[in-house]
Amino acid sequence: MALEDRLYPLLKVYDRIPQRLKNCVGAVYRVLPQKWKWGAEYPKFKKLIRESLEWDEDDIREYQVKQLRTTLLRAQATCPWYQKKFAEFKFHPENLLSTEDIQNAPFLEKRDIQDHLNELVSSEYPESKRLYITTGGSTGVPVGFYLQKGVSRPKEQAFLEAMWQRVGWKQGSRMVLIRGHVTTESSKGKISSYDATRNWLLMSSAHLTDERMPEYLEQIEKFKPNFLHIYPSAALQIVEYLERTHQAWRIPVQALLCGSERLNLPQKHILERAFGCKVYRWYGHSERAVLAGEGVSTDLFYFWPLYGYTEFGEPDDLGYQEVIATSFHNNVMPLIRYRTGDYVKLATPDYPHEFPWPAAVEVAGREQEFLISATGRKISLTMFNMHDSIFDNLYAVQFYQKQPGVAEFRYKPTRNFNPSQLENIQKGIRSKLGDDFEISFRQVEEMERTSRGKHRWLISEL
């Protein structure tokens, strides 16, 4: 099994040890071979990615059919929920001969995962092979699921690296991360910490105020990164500050790596002009069933056909189509025809394509939404995309704010929710918000939605 998976449960322990000891441990870990850190599957995925770049559409289709059959047959044989649903829909995986045949299978909704998690897990794999993850995704609907240890995370790393290489990333590149890392609960506390395991500078994305911004610029300049791995909203806050104070960005970087939040083309061009480098965008989700990234010479999002099988729902009035994903390689808990709740606008066939893959001109995922603290800090809701069990047994969560520094957290519990969980929820949220915020908690029966019926993470009257 990969060292990363073995050590993942110890991450909180590592975070608590003194920085000097972290530096020693991290320096040793950093020089270990990638195969040791990410396991035997990591080089296999790297090799697959390299070879697939030479494939034509027939090669891709053959691979997808093979992976779909493997995923579907294993689900039918070892996952009780799929056994029942396939029988109900009279769907027979052994008859799948083309990718189009999967359209006869039932959809998997987020609510199905919330209500039937244990029935979706393969009986073939023991608990020791499972890695439990939760996410709020782009909708504020908490979903807990299992990844396969030794496979899912090494696979993700291999594909991310393949995309980042399109803008010059390589092993050992120095990075500054400004994407949700909690450095302190104090509004006046430290803004950064050093991750010696990767030679990265981790900076808070919740302290980007005019008062603290000079500290950010000074520390980034001193660190001399090759790349900024940053929330789009954080990058835009830096640019706004520079413009207001009549300054220019003076720290050369090769590129900005921007994921997790939506970044439209006009905003991307603003960032490229301000930072003087390429801005690279990608789209994916914690469930590891779909991944898309920009090419080298175009701004299209290309959906990796080897990562999973992606379908697109019927276009709405504005031409957006829902992303429906079937996972490959996660034998512990396969996701089949999973309705992600994310929408894309696909590129027309006459648009220049770099790869013979499905491509989108725009992804309507998580917006750049903020809570505003009493001292004016902007706290991105992306920070609340928890990966532990804090939101277990909640159907939906939502923030409501009408004055700075004060907000209400609304939650809709499932039948399995235990009131004792509320203490952990409160503790987790307060640790993200900091000491210049008052937060109250309220159980509700229904959440406020958009006119299209989509759940909203934030209702703000500011």
Task: Determine the Cα–Cα distance for residues 9 and 26; give it in Å rounded to an integer.
Answer: 16
Q: Do 445 and 427 meet the contact criterion of CB atoms below 8 Å apart?
A: no
> CA 373, 376, 382 angle in degrees (round to 5)?
60
Q: Count CB neighbours of 70 within 10 A.
A: 15
Strand, coil or helix: what is 141?
coil
Task: Determine the Cα–Cα distance for residues 33 and 27; give it in Å rounded to an integer.
Answer: 13
**Which residues sit opposite 308 in a β-bridge?**
327
**Which residues sit opposite 257 in a β-bridge?**
229, 280
Q: Count CB neighbours of 172 within 10 A.
A: 9
Q: Which phi and psi angles does 180 have, rounded to 5°? A: 100, -5
Task: Determine the Cα–Cα distance for residues 327 and 316; give it in Å rounded to an integer.
Answer: 25
Q: In 92-137, where does DSSP find H-type helix? A: 110-120
Please give the pLDDT value at position 452.
47
Strand, coil or helix: what is 348?
coil
Residues in CB range of 437: below 8 A, 6 or more apart? 371, 373, 374, 379, 405, 406, 407, 430
> CA 15, 21, 22 angle in degrees (round to 5)?
40
Task: Determine the Cα–Cα distance for residues 189 and 207; give it in Å rounded to an integer.
Answer: 9
Q: Do 214 and 241 meet the contact criterion of CB atoms below 8 Å apart?
A: no
Please give the pLDDT value at position 454.
58
Task: Determine the Cα–Cα distance for residues 338 and 62; give it in Å rounded to an integer.
Answer: 22
Report CA-CA distances (Å) from 446 to 52, 232, 341, 440. 46, 31, 18, 17
Report CA-CA distances (Å) from 399 to 370, 410, 442, 448. 10, 6, 10, 10
Please give the pLDDT value at position 139.
57
Q: Residue 181 has which token pair? A: 């890392």
Task: Determine the Cα–Cα distance for residues 180 and 357; give it in Å rounded to an integer.
Answer: 31
Task: Determine the Cα–Cα distance for residues 70 and 78; give it in Å rounded to an integer.
Answer: 12
Pairing of strands 291-294, 301-303: antiparallel
Pairing of strands 175-178, 200-203: parallel
Q: Residue 333 has which token pair? A: 């808990």
Regions of the chain where pLDDT drops below 50: 452
> CA 370, 374, 378 angle in degrees (round to 5)?
25
Task: Determine the Cα–Cα distance for residues 274 and 426; give it in Å rounded to an integer.
Answer: 38
Pairing of strands 278-284, 378-380: unpaired
Please give the pLDDT value at position 25.
81
Angle between helices 232-244 and 213-223 (to 10 degrees): 110
Instruction: List domains and CATH numbers for the chain.
Output: 1-367 (3.40.50.12780), 370-460 (3.30.300.30)
Q: Which phi and psi angles does 129 have, rounded to 5°? A: -95, 0
Please give the pLDDT value at position 168.
97
**Sole residue written with tokens 């079937």:** 326
Among 152, 205, 151, 216, which Cα is nearest to 183's?
205
Phi and psi based region of residue 430 (left: phi greater than 0; alpha: psi -120 to 50; beta: remaining)? alpha
Task: Determine the Cα–Cα distance for residues 100 and 457; give it in Å rounded to an integer.
Answer: 34
